[in-house]
Amino acid sequence: MQRDHREQLNLSWQANADAWTAAVREQRIESRRLVTDTAILQAVLALAPARVLDVGCGEGWLCRGLAARGIESVGVDASAPLIEVARKAGNPRGNYRVCGYAELESQAAQLGRFDVLVCNFALLEEPLAPTLNALHGVLAPGGRLLIQTLHPWRACHDASYRDGWRVETFASFGEGFQAPMPWFFRTLESWLSLLSETGWRLQWLQEPLHPESEQPVSLLLLLGAER
């Protein structure tokens, strides 16, 4: 069952590549437009990195934003169509690779080491420990991992506050989405245990708020390596 969910997750990012690209580039997702894009960009910039790996980069908006500020970035993503549109949007200081997280370990030598690894709404699967372990292999000494994810208390809605697979239909993101996406919901306790078990030490945690409702939109975590 877990394997089916992971396969469907992967397929959804092939099938929805065009619709996702339009939703991001037309700024259709309010939480991104008002809160989370700025939150992740500012968090990266505050670390003043020379080199950033955008893990699950999608259509590449963050790499382009970093390049505009003179920061070298590499974007990796399992979705070939998303990598293609990212490349087409042009990023003279960065580059993109089709690379599933399961291949990060074998690609580490070619990718090199990075001062900051960013996962912006891109850690969606279970088990996640192999990916979090593999990220140590591409981290420069003293480097940091930044994770932005849905705030668990908001993303839970009325379902029970327990880890488990959920489904995103993209209904509020506009037209053109072809396939629902299974994703794995984690409680805050579960996130923090998983990160600790995989050798990541929490340095700070932010809960960016929606400016009007003042409800937390996301959970933003800065981590250093314990290994």
* Cα 162 → chain centroid: 21
Round to whole Å and give the CA distance between 67 and 69.
5
| 24 near ligand SAM (CB under 6 A) | yes
| 149 near ligand SAM (CB under 6 A) | no
| 79 near ligand SAM (CB under 6 A) | yes
| 96 near ligand SAM (CB under 6 A) | no
| 16 near ligand SAM (CB under 6 A) | no
| 135 near ligand SAM (CB under 6 A) | no
Burial class (CB in 10 A: 0-12, 13-18, 19+), 7: exposed
Q: Considering beta carbons, is residue 112 or 127 the nearer one to ligand SAM?
A: 127
Round to whole Å and give the CA distance between 182 and 189.
21
Q: Considering beta carbons, is residue 10 or 190 the nearer one to ligand SAM?
A: 10
Q: Percentage helix, strand, coil, to 5, in the chain?
A: 40, 25, 30
Contact 227, 160 (CB under 8 A): no
| 218 near ligand SAM (CB under 6 A) | no
| 168 near ligand SAM (CB under 6 A) | no
Q: Considering beta carbons, is residue 115 or 125 the nearer one to ligand SAM?
A: 125
Select from 207, 211, 55, 41 the least CA-distant residue to 121: 55
Round to whole Å and give the CA distance between 171 and 23.
11
DSSP symbol at 55:
E
Q: Using CB under 6 A, which of the segments 119-127, 134-142, 186-194, 201-209 binds ligand SAM?
A: 119-127
CB of 35 to ligand SAM, least distance (A): 13
Round to whole Å and give the CA distance between 45 and 73.
12
Q: Considering beta carbons, is residue 90 or 226 the nearer one to ligand SAM?
A: 90
Residue with tokens 């960016």: 208
| 85 near ligand SAM (CB under 6 A) | no
CB of 143 to ligand SAM, least distance (A): 19
What is the contact surface with ligand SAM in residues (CB under 6 A)?
Answer: 13, 24, 56-58, 61-62, 77-79, 82, 100-101, 120-122, 124-125
